[in-house]
Amino acid sequence: MKKYLTLVFCLALSPAFALSLSGESKREARLFNDFLKAVYAQRADDPKAFSYLEKALESAPESKYLKRLLVSEALANEKPEWADPYAGFVSQGENDSDDWMVYAAYQWKKGNLSEAEKAYESALALDPDNVRILYQYVLLLSVTNLDKAVEKLLALAEDYPGLTPAVYTEVGSLYLRAQNLQQALAYYNKAVEMAPDDPAPRLGRGEVYEKSSQYFLMLHEFEELEKMGYGNAGTFSRMASVFLLVKDLPKAEEYFLKAKADDNGDVPSAYFLALIAEQKGDYSRAVGYLKDSADYDKSSAKWLQVSFYLKRLNRPEESLKTLAEAYRKFDGNVEIGYFYALALNDAKEYKKAAKVLKKILESNPAYEEARLQYAFTLDSLKKYKEMDAQLELLLEKNPKNAAALNLYAYSLAERNLRLSDAQEFIARALAVNPEENAFIDTQAWIYFKQGKTEAAENILSAVPEEVVAANPDIAYHRGAIWYERGDFERARKYLDMARGEIKEAAKLYKKLPKSARQ
């Protein structure tokens, strides 16, 4: 169409080039050149086409045709506001069907649906057999007047019987969008009966079954499509989701893998295959699935999940690197920043962690978990005054924040300061959760600092041995308590558990008598 219009325009202007270049001829030459630039820009999908058309209009300010092209180009660029100065072209003399169609599209984009409907009707009155205009008109009616849209489509089927199956499918889709599932199913059934090998109505019928929770009928429909060779990532992943619902995990995985084979970046398949792999403990494969997902580069949640899987694979450096990259990529995303700070703390990079957490709290002062982690980080940096201030803020807002109470109590015990306050804080924490092993350990450590070694051992003995073996801090505390009580054999057992991780445990281990270390 554009090539034809260009040719007509060139022929209309060609006599000008047979004359000497008078002022009028120069104006026409500029008009031609600007128009030609616009044509080539349109072919290259270059947005400069609009500005070239505007320049052309400067040479022919009354040109209805150029104004219509400007409106059309503005709509093509999703900038209907650009068309506002030129939409009046429709009031310049007689309009053909193309004029009305472009004006209708403009009014639709501006949200003036009744005006758009009138313009499409004017276009159809001039060109009643133009299927393109009819399609756009029906699409608008599907929003404004569903019954009228169906009426127009069924009339089209009467005029063109060969289009009847396609019309029935489209009517079914209109009713499906309107959530009228019964009518949608009725028309999809008609379409399938007339064209059993056409995948479109079968796909629509499958969607009706899915929306009405008739999952086994949906599976049957999609299986038929698969047999016909029309299975794709969309149908396979939806079938897999049904198998998940009925807890048939092997079948779900099979169909998610089929979806992935059809579209390696299929988003639902990547997500669920990663979860299935996680359930199997295959974290390496889970990482691969997430990274293959088409939305991986745009999904902060998936980057977090990958970092989690890498941590489970005992690859903390890669996990930390992933979080660092995600923190930069997603411009300081708060959730990523929080977990990035946790990973930095695990890596003992406390200064970096403090910087990240401080930035989070500047924009999210109510983020209690981040403030607690910030306090922990400050404690690790021995910035106790600032740490105490952060904990006071937390406890002022929530006096029963057990984690904050425990951290405050433990830090004071480590510093051997305000032990009576430390005792008060840990008592309040234990009142909230008396069975938390970390809180029990803190209480024992406060007793130890107060010289109450028997009380310390009595309470710490409530912590299961497997928990002690997995926690170097608790193991060190038990070893220190037994050392202080003179039971070097027991002290050696626990200090041996902790000395690879805790420097103080290694130092105390060296103080044991040689006989106890053998």
pLDDT in tens, 279-334: 999 999 999 999 999 999 999 999 999 999 999 999 999 999 999 999 999 988 99
Closest CA to 12 of 57, 72, 65: 65
In angstroms, rounded to a whole number, what is the distance separating the alpha carbons of residues 416 and 405? 16
Q: What are the C-alpha distances in Å from 302 to residues 189, 315, 406?
A: 40, 17, 33
Q: What is the pLDDT of residue 23?
A: 55
DSSP state of 277: H
In a domain, 512, yes or no: yes
In a domain, 441, yes or no: no
Residue 322 backbone class (left: φ over 0; alpha: ψ -120 to 50; beta: rest): alpha
Phi, psi of 394 (to 5 degrees): -65, -45
In a domain, 500, yes or no: yes
Give the mean pLDDT of the chain.
88
Closest CA to 337 of 303, 388, 314: 303
Q: Determine the average pLDDT of the residues in 457-472.
A: 92
Quickly tell me which residue has 């779900």 as its tokens: 252
Largest Cα span, the chain: 117
The two three-digit tokens of residue 322, written as one number: 């992933």
The two three-digit tokens of residue 375, written as one number: 């306090």
In a domain, 236, yes or no: no
Q: What is the pLDDT of residue 138?
A: 79
Task: Give yes or no for residue 9 having a pLDDT over 70.
Answer: no
In a domain, 30, yes or no: no
In angstroms, rounded to a whole number, what is the distance separating the alpha carbons of residues 296 and 498? 40
Q: What is the pLDDT of residue 338?
A: 96
Task: Give yes or no for residue 82 having a pLDDT over 50.
Answer: yes
In a domain, 468, yes or no: yes
Catalogue the long-range contacts made by 114-123 (C-beta closer than 8 Å, 24 or more residues apart). 114/144, 116/140, 117/141, 117/144, 117/145, 119/90, 122/95, 123/97, 123/98
Total structural domains within the chain: 1
In angstroms, rounded to a whole number, what is the distance separating the alpha carbons of residues 44 and 430? 71
Residue 214 backbone class (left: φ over 0; alpha: ψ -120 to 50; beta: rest): beta
pLDDT tens-place string over residues 154-164: 887 887 788 88
pLDDT tens-place string over residues 115-140: 988 988 898 889 887 878 877 877 78
Residue 515: domain span: 464-518
Is 183 buried (19+), middle (13-18) or exposed (0-12) by CB count in 10 A?
A: middle
The two three-digit tokens of residue 263, written as one number: 């579209």
Contact 497, 475 (CB under 8 A): yes
In angstroms, rounded to a whole number, what is the distance separating the alpha carbons of residues 378 and 283? 33
What does pTM read for this prediction? 0.69
Q: Determine the average pLDDT of the residues in 377-397.
A: 96
Q: What is the pLDDT of residue 8?
A: 31
User: pLDDT tier at 16 (50, 70, 90 boundaries)?
Assistant: very low
User: pLDDT tier at 13 (50, 70, 90 boundaries)?
Assistant: very low
DSSP state of 44: T
Length, in residues, of the chain: 518
Lowest-pLDDT range, 9-13, 266-270, 391-395? 9-13
In angstroms, rounded to a whole number, what is the distance separating the alpha carbons of residues 1 and 501? 76
Q: What is the pLDDT of residue 463?
A: 92
pLDDT tens-place string over residues 26-76: 666 677 777 777 777 778 888 888 888 888 888 888 888 888 989 888 888
Burial 202-231 (b: 16+ CB within 10 A, else e): bbbbbbbbbeeebbeebbebbebbbeeebb
Burial 464-494 (b: 16+ CB within 10 A, else e): eeeebeebbbbbbbbbbbbbeeeebebbbbb
In a domain, 511, yes or no: yes
- CA–chain centroid gap for 338, Å, is 18
Q: Determine the average pLDDT of the residues in 234-263.
A: 92
Give percent of the chain with pLDDT exceeding 70.
94
The two three-digit tokens of residue 179, written as one number: 């959530």
Closest CA to 453 of 430, 482, 488, 427: 482
Which residues contact residue 214 at a Cβ distance below 8 angstroms, ignoring those fewer than 6 apart?
Answer: none
Closest CA to 357 of 383, 338, 336, 379: 338
Q: What is the pLDDT of residue 346?
A: 92
User: pLDDT tier at 518 (50, 70, 90 boundaries)?
Assistant: low
The two three-digit tokens of residue 491, written as one number: 């002290």
Q: Determine the average pLDDT of the residues in 363-388.
A: 95
Neighbours of 369 (CB within 10 A): 11
pLDDT tens-place string over residues 333-359: 999 999 999 999 999 999 999 999 999
In a domain, 130, yes or no: no
